[in-house]
Structure 1
Amino acid sequence: MSEKKVVVITGAAQGIGLAGVKKFLKEGWAVAATDIKKKELDEEVAKLVAEGHDVTAYELDVTNYKQGQEVIAEVVKKYGRIDALFNDAGITGHRKNILNFDPELIKQAEDVNLWGSLYLIQHVSRVFVEKKIKGAIVNVSSFVASFAEWSPFGYGISKSSVDGLTRTAAFHLGKYGIRVNSVAPGYTKTEMAIKYDYSDPKLRKAAEDKSLLNRWIEPSEIAAAAYFLASDEASAITGVKLPVDAGYTTTKEDNKVSLYGETE
């Protein structure tokens, strides 16, 4: 059995997930890094292994319930334990409004963001209970789950569902000493955000202007918050959502006019 604490991280090939891998490694944990993007994941993990870190790559489509079971079994076989789960894997869907959405794309967002998180919570929690480990689970919500605006609305729906999942899982698992919380990122410089929003000066500035700190967020800042919630420093915290949004959701903004040009 590993003498280190062990964390499973989904969506670990890039962005917030990869930042999470690096943060947990820095704090002395062993990391089971998972992602559907096997090539990208293997490349990133190989770099970290070459630096002497205790990290293993596992290919995982979080929407595949059986594959999730198998990966978690492999992690337990290798490390003998799991102490935390960081449910980062997620997709945005598209920005069509409620009158024009593509049902398949909305379903995909729900399948990854909600059901994928739920599946991994069950798989990992069963390990916690079996091995009598008072583990921690950190989901990824979003600031857009706190209000309605011109974000990809299927994404907003799925992240609102993650909020409900976090509370419900905390309720059911608390009696085992298992804590469940979430982080809610604001405008964060992930690969996708850089491609679609941050690279557009108008959109980049509009996002900055709506936050109290007038800036975007680094993936490492989300990872630091997730690590805190998974660590013993947060031992009395469960069932909560921690906004990491540079103050975006602190004040009321007029979001009736879309940043993206939609009018209906």
Structure 2
Amino acid sequence: MPAPVVLITGALTGIGRATALAYARDGADVVVSGRHQDEGDALAEELRSNGGRSLFVMADVRHDAEVRHLVDRTVEHFGRLDVAFNNAGTEGRLTPVTEVTDEAYEGTFDTNVKGTLLSLKHEFRAMQAQDGGGSIINVSSIYGLMGYPDYALYVGSKHAVVGITKAAALEGAKHGIRVNAVAPGYTRTAMYERTTGSDAVRDAVNSVLPMGRPGAPEEIAAAVQYLGSGKAGYLTGQTLTLDGGLMSGWPLFPTS
């Protein structure tokens, strides 16, 4: 059976990087994308050293022509597109609603929402033209399933990803294209370091996590691989939460 062709946006750090490495170790052909050429080329070389064929294509998901080129280059180089992980995202500027600006809105929604839509647009185009369809995984967040003060822009953008995932799944089903999302909770990434800010805050966060720790990027990557695989062949339109139990309600609603 030929190796799957996997495309990952926002692949240079964190969850995207961990997912690219996991797929490469399993022998997949991996196209990684981001906005920094030198880092991207270095990652592609690292992926090749881990056993898979790899290509870096620089692209900014906020721009239609760049996303089109990214998907077209993937198909030209590897012949098809089997799995896409739309991981590019930003926390944007975290402000109360009274301080929201046009610039802050665009900075968050252009990447998290428009970028997801443009990626789906061109991934659908490629997958509809090939036998077997494909699997697409979008990245949302636990904040796509609940609210949080001062995070209105980020929360709104990640709620949008959940809705877009459901709508796209309905469109893709007749073409054999499955569309799902992952909703990570606190995960050890650069974003986690930025938004928590200090060891004291991180200790406080860990104290309310049922498992007592943040997730590892590799744990999210494993879920992405499952959603992208034939083992999830009847799963579409769903958002898989990976939060160590936080959204289950504890300790906000203790049982004793």
Structure 1 counterpart of 2:236? 238
Query: How far did residue 73 of structure 1 move?
Result: 1.0
TM-superposed CA distance for 1:33, in Å, is: 0.5
CA distance in 2, matches of 1:50, 1:145: 36
1:81-100 correspondence runs (5 A)? 81-100=80-99
Residue 48 of structure 2 aligns with which residue?
Answer: 49
Residue 258 (structure 1) aligns with: none
The answer for the alignment partner of 1:22 in structure 2 is: 21
Which residue of 2 is the match for residue 116 of structure 1? 115
Task: Supply the distance in 2 between the matched residues of 1:124 and 1:133 (Cα, whole angstroms).
Answer: 13
CA distance in 2, matches of 1:84, 1:17: 13
Using the TM superposition, name which of 120-129 and 236-245 deviates more.
120-129
Relative to structure 2, which stretch is displaced further, 85-94 or 31-40? 31-40
What residue in structure 1 maps to residue 193 of structure 2? 194
Change (3 A) 1:99 1:253: farther
Once the two structures are superposed, residues 208-229 of structure 1 have per-residue CA deviations (whole angstroms, 9 ceiling, x without a partner) of 1222111111111111111100
Deviation at 1:252, TM superposition (A): 6.1
Deviation string, structure 1 residues 83-139 (Cα, Å, up to 9, x no partner): 011000000112210011232122221111111111111111111111133200000
After TM superposition, the structure 1 = structure 2 runs for residues 88-237 of structure 1, keeping only pairs within 5 Å, are 88-150=87-149, 152-197=151-196, 200-237=198-235
Q: After superposition, give the CA deviation of every residue in 1:178-200 in whole Å (9 maximum; x if it has no partner).
A: 10000000001111212441x51
Query: Secondary structure in 2 aligned to 1:99?
Result: helix
How many angstroms apart in 1 are the aligned matches of 2:150 and 2:222?
Answer: 25
Structure 2 distance, partners of 1:50, 1:7, is 17
Q: Which amino acid aligns with 2:26?
A: E
- Taking the aligned partners of 1:61 and 1:249, their CA distance within structure 2 comes to 32
Mapped contact 2:24–2:48 kept (Cα < 8 A):
no
Give deviations 1:209-254, integer Å, cap 9, x for gaps: 2221111111111111111000111011000000001111110666
**AA at the equivalent of 1:212:** P
Q: Kindly tell me: are residues 105 and 126 of structure 1, through their superposed partners in 2, closer, same or farther at Cα, counting changes over 3 Å?
A: same
From the superposition, tell whether residues 244 and 146 of structure 1 become closer, same or farther in structure 2 (CA, over 3 Å). same
Question: Does the 8 A contact of 1:106 with 1:155 survive in 2?
Answer: no
* TM superposition outliers: structure 1 runs of 4+ over 3 Å: none
User: Which has the larger displacement, 62-71 or 159-168?
Assistant: 62-71
What secondary structure, in the 3-state scheme, does the structure 2 residue paired with 1:206 have?
helix
Report the Cα offset of residue 16 of structure 1. 0.5
Structure 1 residue matching 2:57: 3-state secondary structure: strand
CA distance in 2, matches of 1:148, 1:70: 36
- Partner AA of 1:201 in structure 2: D
CA contact (8 A) 1:144 1:151 kept: no
Q: Which residue of 2 aligns with 1:248?
A: 246
Q: Where do 5+ consecutive residues of structure 1 fail to align?
A: 255-264
The alpha-carbon deviation at position 151 of structure 1 amounts to 5.5
Which string of whole-angstrom CA distances, capped at 9 and with x for unpartnered residues, describes residues 11-41 of structure 1? 0111110011011112221101011122222
SS at match of 2:90: coil
Alpha-carbon distance, 1:48 to partner: 2.6
Q: Distance in 2 between matches of 1:151 and 1:92?
A: 12
Residue 260 of structure 1 corresponds to none
Tell me by how many angstroms 1:202 deviates. 2.4
The size of the alignment, in residue pairs, is: 252
